[in-house]
Amino acid sequence: MSLKNIKTKIQSVRKTSTVTRAMEAVSAVKMRKSQERALTARPYARAALRMLGSVMGSFNAENHPLTRERKEGKVAILLITSDKGLAGSLNSSVLRKTEQFIVEENLLPEELLFICLGRRGHEFALRNGFEVMRHHVNISDGIDEDQFSLITDEVVRLQESGKTREVRIAYTDFRSTFEQEAAVHKILPISLKIMEHIIASITPERGKYSEERQGNGAVAAYTIEPDADEVLAALIPKLTNVAVFHKLLESKASEHSARMVAMKNATDKARDMVKELTRTFNRVRQAAITREVSEITSGIESMR
Amino acid sequence: MSTFHLIIASVGETRFEGPAISATFPGSAGEFTVLAHHEPFVTTLKKGVITVRRDDGTKKYSIENGVLECSNNRTVVLL
């Protein structure tokens, strides 16, 4: 390789590393924001769970379309992925998990219904010829509730109308900055067990907010007005809302941290490459000088 | 004045959190007011205005619907 080529290459690698470093910093900030947002939903979810627990006793799950177990109907999958790449194996592991779920449950393509949040998931569903009921791209990190309710209302409507027998959510569980895990969870028909799982997952196991993990406290005997059915009818869509909202935020936090780590690796790799290339550059330069010197000296020798 | 802890929250944000002397809610079975040490209570709310009274004055929040829970001198409203 010529000197000039190596020089250009060093420059381009350097430029790339500036970009990746900037992306790393941006992702770090976004990640923190998403994490904080995910935590604001927690007191809400806890209170909702407590209420559910208090009225569940006097309530028959068969009475409400969102809690009733059904045999007929499709399986809706709410697929949460990112819009953009450069985030390591984040999206591919969600998609792999989804495929695995479909195989395990022996679901036929016509039994499935996809709602895709994020471009990657949408592309996946189209590629595999699944029915996509709706897809949303460019969901901002600071998604507000009104926008978001549109999505959950749709899911709730699907289940209420009996078009689906269950709703699953495929997303990325945020464990820590370096650890994310793709998962497929059932969110409807909703049960106490599902809610408890959501609450437990709302508090991270480790890190900044993990010390806030605490019990729910004993549930007192409540006076319920007007009656349990009415309260549940109001409560269950809210629970679904908080469940999906939280999964979305969690996926967002995962996306940003995965990207941050991927970009950090890229920056480190670029630094190594620059080092390596500089070394080659010096060696080639040295060789060229030696060659020139020996040419000159041999020229002088021959002139004598 | 004795107070109780009041939280008014929607999924995305907490609208109010702190001690309150009393709060009036548009319950689906009629308007009612919660004071400190209210009995354990769960109800649904309809469209209307929540009036919160504190030491430093009153605050009003308009809501579309909601669910309210009272226990252990704490009231939580989910919008």
Put simply, the answer to whether B42 touches A238 (Cβ < 8 Å) is: no
Sequence-separated contacts (24+) of A233-237 with Cβ below 8 Å? A233/A64, A234/B44, A234/B65, A234/B66, A234/B67, A235/A48, A235/A51, A235/A52, A235/A55, A235/B67, A235/B78, A236/A64, A236/A66, A236/A67, A236/A190, A237/A66, A237/A152, A237/A153, A237/A156
Mean of the per-residue pLDDT values of chain A: 80
Chain A residues touching B78 at Cβ < 8 A = 44, 47-48, 51, 235, 238
Range(s) of the domain holding residue B71 = 4-78
The whole-number pLDDT of residue A129 equals 82
Residue A218 C-alpha, separation from nearest chain B C-alpha, in angstroms: 10
The neighbouring-strand residues paired with B62 are B49
Tell me whether residues B71 and A219 touch, CB distance under 8 A: yes
CB contact under 8 A, B78 and A48: yes
Four-CA torsion A143, A145, A146, A149, nearest 10 degrees: 110
Q: Does A223 touch chain B (CB under 8 A)?
A: yes
Distance from CA of A48 to the nearest CA of B (A): 8
A-chain residues near B34 (CB < 8 A): none
Interface test with B, best of A223, A229, A245 (most B CBs within 10 A): A223
Selection from A54, A45, A41, A44 nearest residue A232 by Cα? A54
Domain ranges of chain A: 3-24+265-303, 25-259
- What kind of architecture, by CATH, is found in domain A3-24+265-303? Orthogonal Bundle (1.10)
Residue B63 near residue B26, CB atoms below 8 Å: yes
A171 to chain B, closest Cα gap in Å:
19
In one letter, which amino acid is A92?
S
Q: Does B67 touch chain A (CB under 8 A)?
A: yes
Chain A interface test: which of B17, B70, B78 (most A C-beta within 10 Å): B78
Reduced to 3 states (helix: H, G, I; strand: E, B; else coil), residue A300 is: helix
Alpha-carbon span A122 to A130, nearest angstrom: 10
pLDDT of residue A202: 61
**What's the whole-model pTM score?**
0.77
The answer to whether B63 and B30 are in contact (CB under 8 A) is no
Q: What six digits make up the tokens of A105?
A: 């449950």
On the question of a cis peptide bond just before residue A65, with omega within 30 degrees of 0, the verdict is no
List A residues 186-205 in contact with B (Cβ-Cβ < 8 A): none
Q: Are B27 and B65 in contact (CB under 8 A)?
A: no
- Residue A215 has a pLDDT of 42
Cα A205 to Cα A211: distance, rounded to the nearest angstrom: 9
| CATH code (residue B67) | 2.60.15.10
CB contact under 8 A, A222 and B13: no
Q: In sequence order, what are the residues at sequence separation of 6 or more whose Cβ sits closer than 8 angstroms to the Cβ of residue B79?
A: B8, B9, B10, B15, B63, B64, B65, B66
3-state secondary structure of A99: helix
Burial of A66 (0-12, 13-18, 19+ CB in 10 A): buried
Tell me the pLDDT tens digit for each residue of B12-55. 777 888 899 999 999 888 899 999 888 888 888 989 999 999 98
Please report, in tens digits, the pLDDT of each residue of chain A (304 residues total).
788 999 999 999 999 999 999 999 998 898 888 878 777 766 777 777 777 766 666 556 566 777 777 777 888 888 888 888 777 788 888 888 888 888 888 888 788 888 888 888 888 888 888 888 888 877 777 677 667 777 888 888 888 887 888 888 888 888 777 888 888 888 877 777 776 776 666 655 544 444 444 444 445 577 777 777 777 778 778 777 877 887 888 888 888 888 888 999 999 999 999 999 999 999 999 999 999 999 999 999 998 8
C-alpha distances out from residue B79 to A68, A189, A223, A237, Å: 24, 22, 20, 11
Q: How far apart, in Å, are the Cα atoms of A133 and each of A7, A8, A106, A250?
A: 52, 49, 21, 23
What strands lie across the sheet with A132-136, from one edge to the other?
A132-136, A112-117, A74-80, A164-176, A179-188
Q: How far apart are CA A52 and CA A43, in angstroms?
A: 14
Total tally of structural domains belonging to chain B? 1
Using the Cβ of A144 and the Cβ atoms of chain B, whether some distance falls under 8 Å is answered with yes
Q: Count other Cβ atoms within 10 Å, centred on residue A189.
A: 20
Contact call for A223 and B72, based on CB within 8 A: no
pLDDT value for A209: 46
CATH architecture of A25-259: 3-Layer(aba) Sandwich (3.40)
In 3D, which of A231, A229, A191 has the Cα closest to residue A59? A229
Instruction: Give the distance from residue B72's alpha carbon to the nearest chain A alpha carbon, in angstroms.
Output: 8
Q: Tell me the residues of chain B between 7 and 66 that have a Cβ less than 8 Å away from chain A.
A: 7, 9-14, 27-29, 39-44, 65-66
Q: How far is B1 from chain A (nearest CA, A)?
A: 25
Banded model confidence at residue B1, pLDDT cuts 50, 70, 90: confident
Give the alpha-carbon dihedral of A37, A189, A82, A106, to 10 degrees: 150
A42–chain B Cβ distance below 8 A for any pair = no
> Which residues on A lie below 8 Å from B9 (Cβ)?
43-44, 47
In the numeric block, which tokens belong to residue A123? 């592309």
Separation in Å, CA of B30 to nearest CA in chain A: 10
Residue identified by tokens 């605050």 is: B59
